[in-house]
A = this chain, B = another copy of it.
Amino acid sequence: MRAVAAPSRTQYAILGLLASGPRSGYDIKKEVTERIAHFWNESIGHLYPVLRRLLDRGLVTRTSETAGSRPTRHVYAITAEGRQELEYWLREPVVPSPPRLEILLKLYFGAHATPEVLTGHIEAYREDRARQLATMQAVHDMLGARPSTDDTRYLRMTVRAGVHSARAALAWCDEVLAEQQALAREADR
């Protein structure tokens, strides 16, 4: 390989989840979409081959649960080497991923679109983020009812990140929408 490995983050997500208990591929997918979808996601079709690779590398083990005639359920557990690999990755600096915000790209090319189209995009985005804010706040309240236990502390922090980010997005949308309205009034005069 010439291109230096941009190491798959999927494998670390898997190791991280398995670090708090054995799970099947299906379980992992569910956990991702139900708990951390606000900052991370995985597609099920990618999970299986990566689990296979982790197995081959000895970072996880696999046990099979056969229940009647259903497809065999494979439960994966992290090994000592897997834990080491996870801890190594956790210590490594976060690699910044260059942003690609499609909505800003469209806005940047705004001169080639109608104001109505732009406003429509921003409004849709605003609603999206407003919904997210509501969800995040609901989750936060649910977590916040109890004292900061170890198992929810970090989840709560990520939820707060979502709250901050959504609020900022809303404020920005309102700014942009106001400016677009001012422009429309000017054009009307």
Contact = CB atoms under 8 A, between A and B. Distances in A.
A179 interface: yes
Contact of A9 (B102, B113, B148): B102
Q: Is the interface of A mostly helix, strand, loop or mixed?
A: helix
A26 to B, nearest CB: 19
B103 A94 contact: yes
A38 B99 contact: yes
A4 interface: no
B148 A160 contact: no
A157 B107 contact: yes
Contact of A164 (B112, B124, B158, B171): B171
A107 B169 contact: no
Contacts of A95: 102
Nearest to A124: B93
Interface string A169-186: 101100110010001000
23 contacts: A13-B105, A19-B109, A37-B98, A39-B105, A40-B99, A40-B108, A86-B109, A90-B106, A93-B121, A94-B103, A97-B102, A104-B158, A107-B158, A109-B154, A110-B153, A111-B151, A148-B179, A153-B179, A157-B176, A160-B172, A164-B168, A164-B169, A165-B172
Interface of A: 9, 12-13, 16, 19-20, 36-41, 83, 86-87, 89-91, 93-113, 117, 121, 124-125, 128, 148, 150-151, 153-155, 157-158, 160-161, 164-165, 167-169, 171-172, 175-176, 179, 183
